[in-house]
Amino acid sequence: MKTNGKNKIFKKGLQVATSMEPTLKTIYFPEDKNGYNKRSIQISIIAIFLGLAGGLIAKILTRLIGLITNLCFYGVFSFSFSSPAGNHLGLWVILIPIAGSVIVGLMAKYGSAGIRGHGIPEAMEQVLLNESKIQPRLTFLKPISAAISIGTGGPFGAEGPIIATGGALGSLIGQILKTSADERKTLLAAGAAAGMAATFGSPVSAVLLAVELLLFEFKPQSLIPVTLASASATAVRIFFVGTAPIFALKNVAQPGSLALVIYLLMGLVIGVCSVFVTKSVYFVEDSFDKLPIHWMWWPAIGAVAVGVIGFFAPHTMGVGYDNIDRILNGSIFGEALIVLFILKFISWAISLGSGTSGGTLAPLFTIGGGLGATLGSIILSLFPHCGVDIRIAALVGMAAMFAGSARALLASMIFAFETTMQPYGLLPLLAGCSTAYLISSLMMRNTIMTEKIARRGVYVPSEYEVDFLSKVSVKDSETTKVYSIYAEDEIGKVREWLTSGMEGSLHHGYPVVDKNDRLAGIVSRRELENPEIMPNVKVKDIIKEPLVVIFEDNTLREAADMIAYYKISRIPVVSRADTYKVIGLISRGDIMNARRKNIEQENLYKKYIKLSSIRRKNNLENENQNVEG
C-alpha cells in the first residue's frame, strides 16, 4: 500500500499530491508544528507595537489618575502622580470617593458593565468563553473609570486597570486584523503583560503572570509575542522614569538557615491569611448582591467606607505605592503599620466587593507586606539572633500574599525580585511563596482571580501538564496488521469475503490499494455493505475524498484531532519515506484503549498507595497490641 510523495504543496497541514490514480487527488497530512512560521512572526511584530502602546497607556493612565487626585484633593491642575494622604479637607474627604463611585456606577450601567471589578477575572472569562473577544469600548471605558475611581481615593493600584486595558487593546487589534482565537488570546495576554511591565518595570514576572493567569499554556507561538510585548513596554517605562527598581532595597544581608526556616513558616501563616482575604472579598460581594437596590449604586455605598476610613487613615486611599515602599524599607512599623494594613484591607475589600473599577495587586502587596513586617518584628522580639530581616520579612509577606490569593507562584516570586533587585531575597521568597501557595491550594478551591467566574460555571485550568495523548506516539498504539482491499475489486466479491468469517473480515474499515499496492483511499464496512450499491460496482468508485493519513512519529493527540475534525473513524498510518505505503492503522478505539490503559495504571498506583497505607496502619496496630500484651 503506497502513495506517491512527489509534487507536494504544504499549506496548513494540507498536501495536494499529483497522482496517476483517478481515485486519489487530495491527501490531508498533520500540520507541521515545528517552531515558528510566517504567521507567528507577524503576531510577534504586532505584539512589539502593542507593548509600546501598553507602555504609553500606562503613562497616560497614571497621569490621568494624578490629575484627578490633584483636582479632587488639592484643587490643583497637575498631572504629577500624588497621594491623597496629604489633603486638608477634613470631613469633606468622605464625599470625594462617593462622588467618584457614583460616576463609575453610571458608566457601568450606561457604558458597559465590563468595567466593574479589577479586570483580570473578566479577561480570563473572555479567554475561556468568548474566544478572547473583549468589547472594544472597554479599551476606553476601563481606564477612564479606573482613573476616576482611584483618583477620587479608591484604595486600588493602577496596575489592574492598566493590565485590563492592555488586554482589551490586544483583543481589539486581534478582532480588527481577523486573527484566530489562539492569536487573539496571545495578543490579549501580550497587552496585559505590557501593562504590568510598564507599571512596575517587571517584564519577566509580567510574562509569568500572563502564562499563569491568561494563556494557560507554555508554547513558543504564544510565549514569544508576550515576551516581546513585555520587553518593549519596559523600554517605554525606562524612557520615562529610568531603570531604578520601583521598591529598591539596599544593604540586605544573606539569610542563614534558621532565617530561611522562619520565612518558610511565615509563608504558612500568610497562606492562611490569603485564604481569609479572598473569602472576605467574596463575602462582601455576596452581601452586596443581597441589597434591594440596583447594582449601579453599590460602588457609592462601598465608597462610604473608603471615605470614613480615609478620614482617620489617609494613607489607605489611592494606589498606595508609597505605602509599599515605606513598609519594605522599614520606615513604618509598630502600631502604625498594623493599623495601616488592617484598615487598608477593610477599605479595599468593601470597595472591591461593591463592584467598582479597580485593581487587586497593590492592595494585596500592602496587606501582605504589612503582615510580613509585623510577623518579622514579633519574631525578632522573641528571637533577636535568628537572622530575620524585617524588610525581607515584608518582601516575603508581600509576595506570599499574592502567591496564596492568586496562585501565581512564579510571577509572585520574580515580581518581588524585579521590583527590589535584591538577590538575597530570592531564597526567602522561594520558601515563603511556596508554602503560602501550598496552604492556599489545600484550603481554597478557587482564587481571588477565579472565584467570580467559577461561580458562573466556568472551568479555569489550574494545572499545566502535558496531555497524555501528546506524550504517546502513533507508533505505540497503531494496529500494524492491516487488511486491505483492492480498488479494482467488485463490491459483490468483497461482500462475500466480509461474510466469510475469514481473518480480517470483521473489521470496521479497510484501506484501499491499487494493483501496485499503493494507497488509493479508505472505505468503511458500512459503505461496502450499503444495499443501494450494486454488486458490480468497483471499490474505487465508492471511495470518498479527501483521504486523511498520519505518520508514526505523530502523537495520539494529533491523530485524535484529525479524527474529530474530519469526522472519520480511522486513519491510515504511512511512511515518511514513501507516503503511499501503509504501515498501520490508527482508530478511535486504539486511542481510547491507550488512554484506558493509562487510567488503569494511575488507578493501580493509587490503589497500591492506599493498600500500603492500610498495611502500615495495621502493622502499627499489631505492634501496639504486642507491646500491650
How far apart, in whole angstroms, are the C-alpha atoms of residue 434 and residue 407? 10
Q: Where in the chain is the domain with CATH 1.10.3080.10?
A: 38-241, 257-446
3-state secondary structure of 98: helix
pLDDT of residue 626: 53
pLDDT of residue 39: 82
pLDDT of residue 606: 55
Does residue 533 register a pLDDT over 60? Answer: yes
Q: Are 246 and 321 in contact (CB under 8 A)?
A: yes
How far apart, in whole angstroms, are the C-alpha atoms of residue 270 and residue 397? 7
Does residue 587 register a pLDDT over 80? Answer: yes
Q: Where in the chain is the domain with CATH 3.10.580.10?
A: 469-591
Does residue 441 register a pLDDT over 60? Answer: yes
Looking at residue 319, its amino acid is V
Q: Are 328 and 249 in contact (CB under 8 A)?
A: yes
pLDDT of residue 36: 63
How far apart, in whole angstroms, are the C-alpha atoms of residue 460 and residue 318? 31
Locus of grid cell 513558543 = 220
**Cα 444 from chain centroid (whole Å):** 18
Of 411, 413, 457, residue with least CA distance to 433: 413
User: Which contacts of 239-247 are long-range, i.e. CB under 8 A and separated by 24 or more positions?
Assistant: 240/59, 241/201, 243/201, 245/201, 245/418, 245/419, 245/420, 245/421, 246/200, 246/201, 246/321, 246/325, 246/419, 247/324, 247/325, 247/328, 247/419, 247/420
- Grid cell, residue 580, equals 503511499
Does residue 229 register a pLDDT over 90? Answer: yes
Q: Which residues, other chains included, contact 243 with Cβ-Cβ below 8 Å and sequence gap of 6+?
A: 201
Of 277, 108, 127, 245, residue with least CA distance to 192: 127
Tell me the β-bridge partners of 11.
14
Rg, C-alpha atoms of the chain = 31
Looking at residue 546, its amino acid is P
Q: What is the pLDDT of residues 600-618, one digit of tens each?
A: 777 765 555 555 555 555 5
Mean pLDDT, residues 565-578:
85
* Banded model confidence at residue 510, pLDDT cuts 50, 70, 90: confident
Better-scored residue on pLDDT, 306 or 146: 306
How far apart, in whole angstroms, are the C-alpha atoms of residue 290 and residue 229? 42
Better-scored residue on pLDDT, 335 or 420: 420
Looking at residue 111, its amino acid is G
Better-scored residue on pLDDT, 211 or 603: 211
Q: Where are the beta strands (DSSP E) in 398-546?
A: 485-486, 509-513, 519-524
Of 451, 396, 453, residue with least CA distance to 270: 396
* Banded model confidence at residue 398, pLDDT cuts 50, 70, 90: very high
Q: What is the pLDDT of residues 450-493, one digit of tens each?
A: 887 777 777 777 666 777 888 888 888 888 888 888 888 888 88
pLDDT of residue 165: 85
Of 320, 339, 319, 355, residue with least CA distance to 158: 319
* Banded model confidence at residue 619, pLDDT cuts 50, 70, 90: low
| Residue 466 CB coordination number (10 Å) | 10
Does residue 2 register a pLDDT over 70? Answer: no
| Residue 465 CB coordination number (10 Å) | 8
Of 406, 582, 562, residue with least CA distance to 485: 582
Which 8-state DSSP code applies to residue 569?
A: S
Q: Are 511 and 485 in contact (CB under 8 A)?
A: yes
Judged by average pLDDT, the poorest of 30-39, 146-155, 351-360, 489-498 is 30-39
Tell me what percent of the chain is helix, strand and coil, each rounded to the nearest 5: 65, 5, 30
3-state secondary structure of 428: helix
SS3 of 127-171: HHHCCCCCCCCHHHHHHHHHHHHHHCCCCCCCHHHHHHHHHHHHH
pLDDT of residue 276: 95
- Grid cell, residue 231, equals 520587553
pLDDT of residue 508: 82
Q: What is the mean pLDDT of the chain?
A: 84
- Grid cell, residue 319, equals 494606589
| Residue 109 CB coordination number (10 Å) | 14
* Banded model confidence at residue 279, pLDDT cuts 50, 70, 90: very high
HSE of 103 in the Cβ direction (CA atoms, 13 Å)?
19
Q: What is the pLDDT of residues 283-313, one digit of tens each?
A: 999 999 899 999 899 999 999 999 999 999 9
Q: Are 371 and 359 in contact (CB under 8 A)?
A: no
Q: Are 365 and 398 in contact (CB under 8 A)?
A: yes
How far apart, in whole angstroms, are the C-alpha atoms of residue 314 and residue 87? 8
3-state secondary structure of 245: coil
For domain 257-446, give the CATH number.
Answer: 1.10.3080.10
3-state secondary structure of 471: helix
pLDDT of residue 624: 53
Q: What is the pLDDT of residues 9-35, one digit of tens each?
A: 223 333 333 333 434 456 676 766 655
Q: What is the pLDDT of residues 307-343, one digit of tens each?
A: 999 999 999 998 888 889 999 988 888 888 888 889 9
pLDDT of residue 23: 42
Locus of grid cell 479524527 = 563
This prediction has a pTM of: 0.80
HSE of 89 in the Cβ direction (CA atoms, 13 Å)?
26
* Banded model confidence at residue 563, pLDDT cuts 50, 70, 90: confident
Q: How many residues does the chain have?
A: 629
Q: Are 194 and 168 in contact (CB under 8 A)?
A: no
Q: Which residues, other chains included, contact 183 with Cβ-Cβ below 8 Å and sequence gap of 6+?
A: 39, 43, 174
Instruction: Report the percentage of the chain scoring pLDDT > 70.
Output: 88
Mean pLDDT, residues 257-261:
93
Q: Which CATH architecture has domain 38-241?
A: Orthogonal Bundle (1.10)
Q: Is the dihedral of CA 232, 237, 239, 243 positive or negative?
A: negative
Q: Which residues, other chains included, contact 534 with Cβ-Cβ below 8 Å and sequence gap of 6+?
A: 491
Judged by average pLDDT, the poorest of 34-38, 163-167, 171-175 is 34-38
pLDDT of residue 5: 33
* Banded model confidence at residue 4, pLDDT cuts 50, 70, 90: very low
Q: Which CATH architecture has domain 469-591?
A: Roll (3.10)
End-to-end CA distance of the chain: 76
Of 153, 140, 235, 204, residue with least CA distance to 419: 204
pLDDT of residue 367: 94
How far apart, in whole angstroms, are the C-alpha atoms of residue 79 and residue 509? 73
pLDDT of residue 6: 30
Does residue 251 register a pLDDT over 80? Answer: yes
Mean pLDDT, residues 368-383:
93
Does residue 372 register a pLDDT over 90? Answer: yes
pLDDT of residue 14: 35
Mode of pairing for the β-strands spanning 509-513 and 485-486: parallel
pLDDT of residue 604: 62
How far apart, in whole angstroms, are the C-alpha atoms of residue 239 and residue 232? 11
Supply φ then ψ for residue 533, to 5 degrees.
Answer: -95, 125
